[in-house]
Amino acid sequence: MTFEFIIVEPEYKKHIALIRLNRPDALNALNLQLMGELRDALKELDDNDEVRVIVLTGNEKAFAAGADIKQMADKNAIDMLKIDQFTTWDQIKKTKKPLIAAVSGFALGGGCELAMTCDMIVASESAKFGQPEIKIGVMPGAGGTQRLTKAMGKALAMEMILTGNFIDAEKALQHGLINRIAPVELYLDEAIKLATEIALQSPLATQMAKEAIVKSFDLGISEGVLFERKNYYLLFAGQDQKEGMNAFIEKRKPDFKGN
Ligand code: CAA
Protein backbone atom coordinates (compact mmCIF):
# COMPACT_ATOMS: atom_id res chain seq x y z
CA MET A 1 0.00 0.00 0.00
CA THR A 2 1.88 3.04 -1.26
CA PHE A 3 0.40 6.50 -1.06
CA GLU A 4 1.68 10.07 -1.35
CA PHE A 5 0.31 11.65 1.81
CA ILE A 6 -0.04 8.72 4.20
CA ILE A 7 2.25 5.89 5.27
CA VAL A 8 0.59 2.57 5.97
CA GLU A 9 2.11 -0.30 7.94
CA PRO A 10 -0.43 -3.15 7.88
CA GLU A 11 1.67 -5.29 10.25
CA TYR A 12 3.09 -2.65 12.59
CA LYS A 13 2.56 -5.11 15.46
CA LYS A 14 0.74 -8.42 15.61
CA HIS A 15 -2.85 -7.72 14.48
CA ILE A 16 -2.26 -3.93 14.63
CA ALA A 17 -1.98 -1.66 11.59
CA LEU A 18 -0.59 1.86 11.74
CA ILE A 19 -1.45 4.75 9.42
CA ARG A 20 0.61 7.95 9.62
CA LEU A 21 -0.67 11.18 8.07
CA ASN A 22 2.33 12.50 6.19
CA ARG A 23 2.10 16.09 4.94
CA PRO A 24 4.43 17.61 7.55
CA ASP A 25 5.05 20.85 5.61
CA ALA A 26 1.34 21.68 5.83
CA LEU A 27 0.84 20.38 9.39
CA ASN A 28 -0.96 17.41 7.82
CA ALA A 29 -3.74 19.61 6.40
CA LEU A 30 -6.34 17.23 5.04
CA ASN A 31 -6.54 17.85 1.30
CA LEU A 32 -8.86 15.83 -0.93
CA GLN A 33 -6.11 13.44 -2.05
CA LEU A 34 -5.00 12.66 1.50
CA MET A 35 -8.57 11.93 2.58
CA GLY A 36 -9.11 9.70 -0.48
CA GLU A 37 -5.93 7.80 0.35
CA LEU A 38 -7.03 7.41 3.96
CA ARG A 39 -10.43 6.07 2.86
CA ASP A 40 -8.78 3.52 0.52
CA ALA A 41 -6.22 2.41 3.13
CA LEU A 42 -8.89 1.93 5.80
CA LYS A 43 -11.01 -0.12 3.41
CA GLU A 44 -8.04 -2.40 2.62
CA LEU A 45 -7.15 -2.81 6.28
CA ASP A 46 -10.79 -3.52 7.10
CA ASP A 47 -10.72 -6.34 4.50
CA ASN A 48 -7.44 -7.78 5.84
CA ASP A 49 -8.22 -10.58 8.32
CA GLU A 50 -4.81 -10.27 9.97
CA VAL A 51 -5.60 -6.72 11.13
CA ARG A 52 -7.76 -6.37 14.24
CA VAL A 53 -7.14 -2.78 15.34
CA ILE A 54 -6.02 0.30 13.38
CA VAL A 55 -4.06 3.20 14.89
CA LEU A 56 -4.10 6.54 13.08
CA THR A 57 -1.46 9.12 13.89
CA GLY A 58 0.30 12.23 12.59
CA ASN A 59 3.62 13.53 13.87
CA GLU A 60 4.76 15.15 17.08
CA LYS A 61 3.81 18.68 15.94
CA ALA A 62 0.47 17.95 14.30
CA PHE A 63 -2.10 15.24 14.07
CA ALA A 64 -3.80 17.47 11.49
CA ALA A 65 -4.41 21.24 11.37
CA GLY A 66 -7.73 20.86 9.57
CA ALA A 67 -9.08 20.67 6.07
CA ASP A 68 -6.78 22.25 3.48
CA ILE A 69 -7.73 25.95 3.54
CA LYS A 70 -5.65 26.70 0.44
CA GLN A 71 -7.49 24.07 -1.56
CA MET A 72 -10.94 25.48 -0.76
CA ALA A 73 -10.36 29.23 -0.33
CA ASP A 74 -11.62 30.15 -3.84
CA LYS A 75 -14.50 27.65 -4.05
CA ASN A 76 -18.16 28.66 -4.24
CA ALA A 77 -21.11 26.75 -2.77
CA ILE A 78 -21.81 24.88 -6.02
CA ASP A 79 -18.16 23.78 -6.25
CA MET A 80 -18.38 22.53 -2.67
CA LEU A 81 -21.60 20.64 -3.40
CA LYS A 82 -20.08 19.05 -6.49
CA ILE A 83 -16.84 18.08 -4.74
CA ASP A 84 -18.87 16.91 -1.73
CA GLN A 85 -15.71 16.17 0.20
CA PHE A 86 -17.43 14.79 3.24
CA THR A 87 -18.77 11.68 1.46
CA THR A 88 -15.18 10.43 1.82
CA TRP A 89 -15.45 11.02 5.56
CA ASP A 90 -18.71 9.03 5.62
CA GLN A 91 -16.76 6.03 4.26
CA ILE A 92 -14.13 6.44 6.98
CA LYS A 93 -16.88 6.39 9.58
CA LYS A 94 -17.94 2.98 8.24
CA THR A 95 -14.62 1.32 9.22
CA LYS A 96 -15.62 -1.85 11.07
CA LYS A 97 -12.45 -2.40 13.06
CA PRO A 98 -11.65 -0.36 16.16
CA LEU A 99 -9.81 2.79 15.16
CA ILE A 100 -7.60 4.62 17.67
CA ALA A 101 -6.31 8.15 17.04
CA ALA A 102 -2.86 8.85 18.52
CA VAL A 103 -2.75 12.65 18.67
CA SER A 104 0.18 14.96 19.32
CA GLY A 105 0.30 18.69 18.65
CA PHE A 106 -2.52 20.27 16.66
CA ALA A 107 -5.84 18.48 16.13
CA LEU A 108 -7.81 21.38 14.70
CA GLY A 109 -10.95 21.76 12.59
CA GLY A 110 -11.12 18.69 10.35
CA GLY A 111 -8.16 17.30 12.33
CA CYS A 112 -10.19 17.36 15.54
CA GLU A 113 -13.18 15.97 13.63
CA LEU A 114 -11.05 13.16 12.20
CA ALA A 115 -9.80 12.25 15.68
CA MET A 116 -13.40 12.27 16.92
CA THR A 117 -14.45 10.04 14.00
CA CYS A 118 -12.05 7.45 15.44
CA ASP A 119 -13.33 5.31 18.30
CA MET A 120 -10.80 6.34 20.92
CA ILE A 121 -8.17 9.04 21.29
CA VAL A 122 -4.80 8.77 23.02
CA ALA A 123 -3.10 12.16 23.24
CA SER A 124 0.35 13.46 24.00
CA GLU A 125 0.82 16.15 26.66
CA SER A 126 1.32 18.66 23.83
CA ALA A 127 -1.99 17.95 22.08
CA LYS A 128 -4.27 20.90 21.29
CA PHE A 129 -7.85 20.31 20.24
CA GLY A 130 -10.00 22.97 18.62
CA GLN A 131 -12.58 23.88 16.03
CA PRO A 132 -11.18 27.23 14.81
CA GLU A 133 -13.27 27.40 11.60
CA ILE A 134 -15.15 30.42 13.01
CA LYS A 135 -11.90 32.41 12.68
CA ILE A 136 -11.84 31.82 8.93
CA GLY A 137 -15.50 32.72 8.46
CA VAL A 138 -17.03 29.25 8.40
CA MET A 139 -18.01 26.54 10.88
CA PRO A 140 -17.17 22.85 11.40
CA GLY A 141 -18.34 20.76 8.44
CA ALA A 142 -17.19 17.21 9.19
CA GLY A 143 -19.29 16.47 12.25
CA GLY A 144 -17.68 18.81 14.80
CA THR A 145 -20.88 20.48 16.00
CA GLN A 146 -22.42 17.06 16.67
CA ARG A 147 -19.51 14.98 17.95
CA LEU A 148 -17.88 17.64 20.13
CA THR A 149 -21.25 18.43 21.72
CA LYS A 150 -21.98 14.74 22.39
CA ALA A 151 -18.47 14.18 23.78
CA MET A 152 -18.03 17.29 25.97
CA GLY A 153 -21.50 18.71 26.48
CA LYS A 154 -23.19 21.80 25.08
CA ALA A 155 -21.52 24.51 27.13
CA LEU A 156 -17.92 23.68 26.29
CA ALA A 157 -18.65 22.69 22.67
CA MET A 158 -20.53 25.96 22.13
CA GLU A 159 -17.67 27.96 23.61
CA MET A 160 -14.99 26.15 21.60
CA ILE A 161 -16.86 26.38 18.31
CA LEU A 162 -18.01 30.01 18.71
CA THR A 163 -14.64 31.33 19.92
CA GLY A 164 -12.33 28.98 18.01
CA ASN A 165 -10.21 28.62 21.15
CA PHE A 166 -8.16 25.47 21.67
CA ILE A 167 -8.14 23.20 24.71
CA ASP A 168 -5.18 21.18 25.94
CA ALA A 169 -4.99 17.43 26.53
CA GLU A 170 -5.69 17.73 30.27
CA LYS A 171 -8.98 19.58 29.68
CA ALA A 172 -9.89 17.18 26.86
CA LEU A 173 -9.42 14.26 29.27
CA GLN A 174 -11.38 15.95 32.06
CA HIS A 175 -14.34 16.47 29.71
CA GLY A 176 -14.41 13.05 28.11
CA LEU A 177 -13.05 13.86 24.66
CA ILE A 178 -10.04 11.56 24.97
CA ASN A 179 -9.10 8.30 26.67
CA ARG A 180 -5.51 8.72 27.82
CA ILE A 181 -2.60 11.18 27.97
CA ALA A 182 1.07 10.22 27.69
CA PRO A 183 4.33 12.15 27.44
CA VAL A 184 5.19 13.24 23.89
CA GLU A 185 7.82 10.54 23.44
CA LEU A 186 5.37 7.82 24.58
CA TYR A 187 1.94 8.69 23.18
CA LEU A 188 2.20 6.35 20.20
CA ASP A 189 3.40 3.50 22.45
CA GLU A 190 0.44 4.17 24.73
CA ALA A 191 -1.97 3.99 21.76
CA ILE A 192 -0.35 0.73 20.65
CA LYS A 193 -0.67 -0.60 24.22
CA LEU A 194 -4.40 0.10 24.13
CA ALA A 195 -4.65 -1.44 20.64
CA THR A 196 -2.78 -4.55 21.83
CA GLU A 197 -5.23 -5.06 24.66
CA ILE A 198 -8.16 -4.83 22.23
CA ALA A 199 -6.44 -7.05 19.64
CA LEU A 200 -6.35 -9.89 22.20
CA GLN A 201 -10.15 -9.96 22.30
CA SER A 202 -12.43 -11.66 19.81
CA PRO A 203 -12.32 -9.58 16.61
CA LEU A 204 -15.96 -10.41 15.93
CA ALA A 205 -17.08 -9.30 19.36
CA THR A 206 -15.03 -6.06 19.23
CA GLN A 207 -16.48 -5.14 15.83
CA MET A 208 -20.05 -5.92 16.86
CA ALA A 209 -19.64 -4.00 20.12
CA LYS A 210 -18.13 -1.02 18.27
CA GLU A 211 -21.01 -1.08 15.79
CA ALA A 212 -23.56 -1.03 18.62
CA ILE A 213 -21.80 1.84 20.44
CA VAL A 214 -21.60 3.90 17.23
CA LYS A 215 -25.33 3.27 16.70
CA SER A 216 -26.05 4.90 20.06
CA PHE A 217 -25.31 8.23 18.37
CA ASP A 218 -28.00 7.68 15.75
CA LEU A 219 -30.70 5.76 17.61
CA GLY A 220 -32.91 6.33 20.63
CA ILE A 221 -32.18 4.13 23.67
CA SER A 222 -34.89 1.49 22.97
CA GLU A 223 -33.88 0.99 19.33
CA GLY A 224 -30.20 1.03 20.38
CA VAL A 225 -30.79 -1.68 22.97
CA LEU A 226 -32.58 -3.84 20.37
CA PHE A 227 -29.68 -3.34 17.94
CA GLU A 228 -27.20 -4.31 20.65
CA ARG A 229 -29.27 -7.42 21.53
CA LYS A 230 -29.23 -8.67 17.91
CA ASN A 231 -25.46 -8.29 17.68
CA TYR A 232 -25.09 -10.09 21.01
CA TYR A 233 -27.21 -13.06 19.86
CA LEU A 234 -25.38 -13.13 16.51
CA LEU A 235 -22.02 -13.61 18.23
CA PHE A 236 -23.25 -17.04 19.37
CA ALA A 237 -23.02 -18.13 15.72
CA GLY A 238 -19.21 -17.92 15.83
CA GLN A 239 -16.37 -19.98 17.30
CA ASP A 240 -14.90 -17.09 19.30
CA GLN A 241 -17.88 -17.16 21.66
CA LYS A 242 -17.38 -20.91 22.27
CA GLU A 243 -13.62 -20.42 22.69
CA GLY A 244 -14.06 -17.47 25.10
CA MET A 245 -16.67 -19.16 27.29
CA ASN A 246 -14.95 -22.57 27.30
CA ALA A 247 -11.61 -20.93 28.16
CA PHE A 248 -13.28 -19.30 31.15
CA ILE A 249 -14.76 -22.60 32.32
CA GLU A 250 -11.46 -24.44 31.73
CA LYS A 251 -9.52 -21.67 33.54
CA ARG A 252 -7.19 -20.86 30.61
CA LYS A 253 -6.55 -17.85 28.33
CA PRO A 254 -8.73 -17.75 25.20
CA ASP A 255 -7.17 -17.90 21.74
CA PHE A 256 -9.50 -15.96 19.46
CA LYS A 257 -9.36 -16.64 15.71
CA GLY A 258 -12.01 -14.22 14.45
CA ASN A 259 -14.37 -16.95 13.24
N1 CAA B 1 -4.73 24.27 5.46
C2 CAA B 1 -3.70 24.51 4.62
N3 CAA B 1 -2.44 24.79 5.06
C4 CAA B 1 -2.24 24.81 6.39
C5 CAA B 1 -3.26 24.57 7.31
C6 CAA B 1 -4.56 24.26 6.79
N7 CAA B 1 -5.59 23.94 7.59
N8 CAA B 1 -2.76 24.66 8.56
C9 CAA B 1 -1.45 24.97 8.43
N10 CAA B 1 -1.14 25.05 7.12
C11 CAA B 1 0.16 25.37 6.53
C12 CAA B 1 0.49 26.85 6.66
O13 CAA B 1 -0.14 27.58 5.63
C14 CAA B 1 2.00 26.82 6.56
O15 CAA B 1 2.34 26.65 5.20
P16 CAA B 1 3.51 27.60 4.55
O17 CAA B 1 4.76 27.18 5.28
O18 CAA B 1 3.49 27.19 3.12
O19 CAA B 1 3.12 28.99 4.84
C20 CAA B 1 2.37 25.52 7.27
O21 CAA B 1 1.19 24.72 7.28
C22 CAA B 1 2.78 25.74 8.73
O23 CAA B 1 1.75 26.48 9.37
P24 CAA B 1 2.01 27.84 10.20
O25 CAA B 1 3.18 28.56 9.66
O26 CAA B 1 0.71 28.58 10.27
O27 CAA B 1 2.39 27.20 11.62
P28 CAA B 1 2.21 27.86 13.06
O29 CAA B 1 2.90 26.94 14.00
O30 CAA B 1 2.58 29.29 13.05
O31 CAA B 1 0.61 27.82 13.36
C32 CAA B 1 -1.55 26.77 13.43
C33 CAA B 1 -0.02 26.58 13.52
C34 CAA B 1 -2.07 27.54 14.63
C35 CAA B 1 -2.15 25.36 13.46
C36 CAA B 1 -1.93 27.50 12.12
O37 CAA B 1 -1.26 26.87 11.02
C38 CAA B 1 -3.39 27.49 11.81
O39 CAA B 1 -4.14 28.26 12.41
N40 CAA B 1 -3.86 26.63 10.87
C41 CAA B 1 -5.22 26.60 10.42
C42 CAA B 1 -6.13 25.94 11.44
C43 CAA B 1 -7.57 25.95 10.94
O44 CAA B 1 -8.17 26.99 10.77
N45 CAA B 1 -8.15 24.74 10.72
C46 CAA B 1 -9.49 24.61 10.23
C47 CAA B 1 -9.52 24.44 8.73
S48 CAA B 1 -11.15 24.42 8.03
C49 CAA B 1 -11.78 22.89 8.37
O50 CAA B 1 -11.11 22.05 8.92
C51 CAA B 1 -13.21 22.63 7.96
C52 CAA B 1 -13.79 21.33 8.38
O53 CAA B 1 -14.61 21.26 9.24
C54 CAA B 1 -13.37 20.08 7.74
At 4-56, the pLDDT tens digits run 999 999 999 999 999 999 999 999 999 999 999 999 999 999 999 999 999 99
Mutate which of 21, 22, 23, 27 to test ligand 1's pocket (most atoms within 8 Å of Cβ)?
27
SS3 annotation, 20-82: EECCHHHCCCECHHHHHHHHHHHHHHHHCCCCCEEEEECCCCEEECCECHHHHCCCCHHHHHH
Q: How many CA atoms lie within 13 A of 236 on its CB side?
A: 4
What is the tens place of the pLDDT at every residue in 175-202?
999 999 999 999 999 999 999 999 999 9
Q: Which residues surround ligand 1 with Cβ inside 6 Å?
A: 26-27, 29, 65-70, 106, 108-110, 113, 132-133, 136, 140-142, 144
**Annotated active-site positions, please?**
67, 110, 113, 133
User: What pLDDT, on a 0 to 100 scale, did the predictor assign at position 229?
Assistant: 87
What is the chain's mean pLDDT, rounded? 95
Q: What pLDDT sits at residue 224?
A: 80
Which has the closest alpha carbon to 140: 175, 102, 111, 100? 111
d(CA 72, CA 162): 21
* pTM attached to this predicted model: 0.94
Instruction: Identify the structural domains of the chain with CATH numbers, from first to last.
Output: 6-199 (3.90.226.10), 203-249 (1.10.12.10)
